Amino acid sequence: MSKRPPELAVEGLTKVFPGTRALDDLSMSVEPGEVHAVLGENGAGKTTLLMILSGVYAPDSGRVLVRGEEVSFARAQDAQAAGIGTVFQEFSLVGRLTVAENVFASHLPTRWLGVLDRRRMAREARELLRTLGSELRPDRSVASLDVGERQLVEIAKALSLRASVLLLDEPTSALSAEEAATLFEVLRRLREQGIAIVFVSHRLAEVFEIADRITVLRDGRLVDTRRRDEITPDDAVRLMVGRELSVLYPGRTEETGPARLEVRGLRSGPVGPVDLVVHAGEIVGVAGLRGSGRSRLVRAIVGAERRDAGEILVDGSAVRIDRPWQAVGRGIAFVPAGRMEEALFPRMSLARNLVSTCLGLVTRLGIVRAAAERRLAERLVRRLGVRARDVEQLVQTLSGGNQQKAVLAKWLALEPRVLVVDEPTQGIDVGAKAEIHAILRELAEGGLAVLMISSELPELLGMCDRVLVMANGRVRGALRAEEATEEQVLALAAGTAGEEAA
């Protein structure tokens, strides 16, 4: 028996928000050198727990102990001073600052007389990023980074405080498989150094890869804490959702209709030329490593990126789309990756966000009719199973996964013919994921053409009819998802397999 107290412990922690008991009498501990995963459905209280541990929220009751000593954090800096570093679910970086400035934002290194030591800052930032397996230049502005690179900067920032506890809230949801593997190497090194790590993720496979112990929360309460070898992924799902969950992926559409979306000779910067067709009733996935051009491709299709050449056809007619709002008018709805930043108005109600794409339906003479807005919003909330107190709740107070559902719901309000989705289930719990998969399939069966990007290969293969694999800006192959294996996709994505047609 070790005499050493846990690095971090909570006892009887309770946090109440208006209308929600986000945490309810929660007790758990994290040992030094342990990766402790926290699992739970969207809204289970995972982020709230991390917010309390990092000094952002004060608990209503209960205690937090660091190495056996009770602590009380008035501000985030107090938690940092106690050695708790956090990587939040929503990014906290400042776009107009550089990578190095962001990493050291809370404790800029200075020389005598308080002069900022830029050279040291750049050097230390570079070293930190290297330990994360990244060659990112410290002088780049964060605004110019893609979402994966930003996540790495977030992690470097949390590590820069020489933390003995590292809290990670869905750190891989924006990372590719190989970036996640790099992160896990880093986490293993940190674990060997005795750092206590709390790891929140909806990706069960990676939880079972990295965690030493797993705690499951439901409705803010502890369901169980188990050693990894005492729990299976199926057990974890059952504990999380409180019921058996067998079907992760719906069946496939029997017959597809005519070509609904056609892309011919599309070029956008380094991407292209690309030709592709998505038929009515079909779900086509786009796979590829980071930098393969898959995001750029779909963004160029919907007018969110400049197009240098090529034609877009919807239902056989060429359409002009230079801006995303034009795509909407042509029946193409685009759900971008990432939640709050691009897709929602965080300080507005859920209802207003949901109707924002189709204000025409609920306004008369330019005035929003509250009853119509509420009716439409409630219908969408029911359809997608968004969990909210009511439709007047501010979007920024919804849990992360429910924000993602809100984004999808708001685009469905438009009743599009083509749905383009980038990482539609990022940050979504297993139960809700299965619901979203079913919704996407149902939309396809109703005649929609769906084009989707996902970094999760099992999801692409489980969901899609065909998967296009991109590498270096080109489509390297198209596979029938039902028959394809992850290895085939990865080989094409890495450029080690020849062209293949489906």
Q: Which stretch binds ligand ATP (CB under 6 A): 289-297, 338-346, 347-355, 395-403?
A: 395-403
Residue nearest to Mg ion (CB): 47
Q: Which stretch binds ligand ATP (CB under 6 A): 325-333, 361-369, 399-407, 477-485?
A: 399-407
Rule CB under 6 A: is residue 345 a binding residue for ligand ATP? no
Question: Cβ 399 to Mg ion, closest distance in Å?
Answer: 5
Encoded tokens for 341: 């930043």
Q: Could you tell me whether strands 69-71 and 61-66 are parallel, antiparallel, or unpaired per DSSP bridges?
A: antiparallel
Q: Which stretch binds ligand ATP (CB under 6 A): 37-45, 327-335, 418-426, 490-498?
A: 37-45
Separation of alpha carbons 45 and 48, rounded Å: 5
**Starting at the edge strand that comes first in sequence, how are the strands of the sheet with 69-71 ordered?**
20-30, 8-17, 61-66, 69-71
Encoded tokens for 208: 């079972």
Q: Which stretch binds Mg ion (CB under 5 A): 89-97, 132-140, 190-198, 292-300?
A: 89-97
Rg (CA), the chain: 23
Q: For residue 26, with 0-12 CB atoms within 10 Å meaning exposed, 13-18 middle and 19 or more buried, which class applies?
A: buried
Rule CB under 5 A: is residue 47 a binding residue for Mg ion? yes
Which letter does DSSP use for residue 70 in this model? E
**392-421 residues near Mg ion, rule: CB under 5 A:** 400
Write the interaction track for ligand ATP spanning residues 421-460; mark x where CB under 6 A is met and - where it is not: --------x-------------------------------
Rule CB under 5 A: is residue 54 a binding residue for Mg ion? no
Separation of alpha carbons 210 and 176, rounded Å: 16
Which letter does DSSP use for residue 348 in this model? S
Which residues contact residue 359 at a Cβ distance below 8 angstroms, ignoring those fewer than 6 apart?
A: 368
Size of the site for Mg ion (CB under 5 A): 4
Q: Are 419 and 443 in contact (CB under 8 A)?
A: yes
Closest CB to ligand ATP among 22 and 469? 22
Which letter does DSSP use for residue 312 in this model? E
Closest CB to Mg ion among 344 and 420? 344
Closest CB to ligand ATP among 44 and 142? 44
Nearest to 438 by CA among 368, 367, 385, 377: 385
Rule CB under 6 A: is residue 59 a binding residue for ligand ATP? no
Which residues contact residue 390 at a Cβ distance below 8 angstroms, ignoring those fewer than 6 apart?
A: none
Q: Which of Mg ion, ligand ATP, none is residue 397 near (CB under 5 to 8 Å by kind)?
A: ligand ATP
Q: Which stretch binds ligand ATP (CB under 6 A): 117-125, 148-156, 301-309, 394-402?
A: 394-402
Rule CB under 6 A: is residue 288 a binding residue for ligand ATP? no
Interaction site with ligand ATP (CB under 6 A): 17, 20, 22, 40, 42-48, 89, 397-402, 429
